[in-house]
Structure 1
Amino acid sequence: MATPEAIQVSSLPLPPNQYVSLYTDENVRRGRAPRPPPPINDTYMMFGNTFNTDDTIIRPLEAQGIKRLYPHNFDRRRELKKLNHSLLVNFLDLIDLLVRSPDSPRRAEKVEDLSLLFIHIHHLLNEFRPHQARETLRVMMEVQKRQRVETRERFEKHLEKVQEILNHALQMLPDTSELDSKIGISTDVMEAMDTTGSDQQGFDPCNPEDRIMCNVIDEMLLSNSSY
């Protein structure tokens, strides 16, 4: 009788095809795609472990059945340094045991001690995650602020350059008062010339006796020409 083969289940299985096929562009545009499942309010299973939605993101070590090696009130940096030093000492002890007595039962104890130290170090590092998230957000906001300040400074420089060009162009334009004065001078000259010409037309510079003689000569020439 053949034994049934073991079913291998992936930790992150692919979604079923019949469910994925419902999320077409047409269904999404018309609102026919299935709605997402409602949020879980009590407990749920993930990777074979039961999780409660009321649990904190970083659960205490006692809630996980792990012995705490440091007090409740402590300095994280100091404790991390102490754990790192203890980890190095226990690793050297394990190497010494493997060299001198590989079959000693203390070897398993040292391995458990190393595992416990790694768990505590990992737990302390996870407690720094909220601080890391805040610092990451702070750095992102500082970068955005610096970019905006640099953009404003570049804009102000371009604005000053444009204002300088406009002021230089305005300075190169002729003054309107000078134009008015030049136009006034030319008008005065033309008026003076007109008055001089009119005066000259009314004034006769010829002597009256000479004019009489000229008229007599003109009549004699006309009479001779008639013959």
Structure 2
Amino acid sequence: MAEGEGEAGVSAMPLPPMQFVSQYTTENVSRGLAPPPPPPITDQYSMFGSDYQVDDQIIRPLESQGIRRLHPDKFDHKLELKKLNHSILVNFLDLLDILIKSPNTPRREEKIDDLNLLFIHMHHLINEYRPHQARETLRVMMEVQKRQRLETADRFQQHLDRVIDMLKQCVQSMPEDIGGASDSEDIKPDLEELNRQAGISQSKRDEDYGKDRLMCSIWTTSSQDEYSKLPTSNTTRSLSDFVDLYHSLHRPYCRQRNYE
């Protein structure tokens, strides 16, 4: 049992992240119960079984990793990569020859170590191109974005020119004597259409029709002489003026509705 627990405690793969996700639910975050982020690493950390320092270079020198350097400090990457490729091919053929003739000799292990060292150097030289690759990738990405934005701006300009031309054509095609309608009947609104748009039902219109007709009949049969018999004062004069104003405004409305 103890042996099984020891094997379970050491795993090549990380633990499932659900044990962390379950702690950062919406409820825990809103209540402030979610665990805080881990403190930043300030000195040394381990990754994939190797120890690293925070201030280490992105591409560590071979000497700092305990690996013997095969090429000089100042060299041509292209030339050295070609040499390494050729050396790997030659050493691989030598290894095949050793495996055929004497597979159990120590030379087999030596040749494998040589191949391992050559591959490490090749990968190291390739990794030294990574910063240049990152810069080139960023440059290409920015050039693509610039080209896309210029093309978008050109399309906008083309559409703008077309809209301006269309507006100019519309202005030129407009008649010079355009103005208000000559006949007031042309712009008179249709009563039925207005009622339909307002959602007024037929029964409601009939009810309003009766009330309007009654009011029109009352005011049209009334005589203004009755108001002239009243004593002349500011109040009666204002009332008389109101009656005159109402008649002047309401009589055309009654005629329009065919109440008279």
Q: Fold conserved (TM > 0.5)?
A: yes
User: How far off is 1:64 after superposition?
Assistant: 0.9
For the pair 1:21 / 2:22, whether they are aligned, the reply is yes
Name the structure 2 match of 1:59. Answer: 60
Gap change, CA 1:45 and 1:16, over 3 Å in 2: farther
SS at match of 1:12: coil
Distance (whole Å) between structure 2 residues aligned to residue 105 and residue 78 of structure 1: 32
What corresponds to 2:36 in structure 1? 35
Q: Output the amino acid matched with 2:15.
A: P
* Separation in 1, partners of 2:109, 2:42: 42
Indicate the SS of the match to 2:45: strand
Larger Rg: 1
Which is further off, 90-99 or 65-74? 90-99
The alpha-carbon deviation at position 102 of structure 1 amounts to 2.7
* C-alpha contact (below 8 Å) 1:94/1:111 kept by paired residues: yes
Identify the residue that residue 95 of structure 2 maps to in structure 1. 94
Helix, strand or coil at the partner of 2:3:
coil
Q: Name the residue aligned to 1:4.
A: 3
What TM-score do the two structures reach when normalised by structure 2?
A: 0.61
Inter-partner Cα distance in structure 1 for 2:27 and 2:135: 41
Cα RMSD for the two superposed structures:
2.2
The aligned residue for residue 140 of structure 1 is 141
Q: Percent identity?
A: 59
SS in 2 for 1:44: strand
Q: Number of residues paired by the alignment?
A: 175
1:46 deviation in Å?
3.0
- The change in CA–CA distance for 1:165 and 1:144 in structure 2 (over 3 A counts) is same
Report the residue type matching 2:106 in the other structure: P
Q: Report how far residue 162 of structure 1 moved.
A: 0.9
- What residue number does 2:80 align with? 79
Aligned pair in 2 of structure 1 residues 10, 98: CA closer, same or farther (>3 Å)?
Answer: closer
Task: Please give the alpha-carbon distance, in whole angstroms, between the structure 2 residues aligned to 1:32 and 1:107.
Answer: 60
CA distance in structure 1 between the aligned counterparts of 2:151 and 2:43, rounded to whole angstroms: 49
d(CA) in 1 for partners of 2:176 and 2:2?
107
TM-aligned CA distance change 1:135 to 1:163, over 3 Å: same
SS in structure 2 opposite 1:51?
strand
Shift of residue 113 of structure 1?
A: 0.8
Task: After TM superposition, give the deviation of residue 123 of structure 1 in Å.
Answer: 0.9
The equivalences for 1:146-161 within 5 A come to 146-161=147-162
- Give a deviation string over 1:79-119, Cα, whole Å, max 9, x none: 11111111111112212222333333322221111100000
Over 6 Å off, 4+ runs: none
1:91/1:114 contact within 8 Å kept: yes
Q: Write the mapping of 1:95-174 to structure 2, written as runs, cut at 5 A.
A: 95-174=96-175
Give the match's secondary structure for 1:164: helix
Describe the superposition over 1:130-188 as per-residue Cα deviations: whole angstroms up to 9, x where unpaired: 11111111111111111111110111111111111111112212346xx8xxxxxxxxx
Deviation, 1:61, is 0.6
Q: Distance in 1 between matches of 2:123 and 2:13?
A: 22
Task: Using the TM superposition, give the Cα deviation of residue 16 of structure 1 relative to its aligned residue in structure 2, in angstroms.
Answer: 7.1
Mark the runs of 5 or more structure 2 residues left unpaired by the alignment: 179-260
Cα deviation for residue 15 of structure 1 reads 4.3
Q: CA deviation at 1:70?
A: 0.6
Structure 1, 61-70 or 4-13: larger mean CA deviation: 4-13
Three-state SS of the structure 2 residue aligned to 1:4 is: helix
- The residue identity in structure 2 corresponding to 1:50 is D
Q: Is the 8 A contact 1:11 1:47 kept in 2?
A: no
Distance 1:15 1:158 in 2: 52
Q: Tell me how far apart the structure 1 counterparts of residues 33 and 109 of structure 2 sit (CA, whole Å).
A: 59
Q: Note the C-alpha offset of 1:54.
A: 1.8
Are the aligned partners of 1:58 and 1:127 in contact in 2 as well (CA < 8 Å)? yes
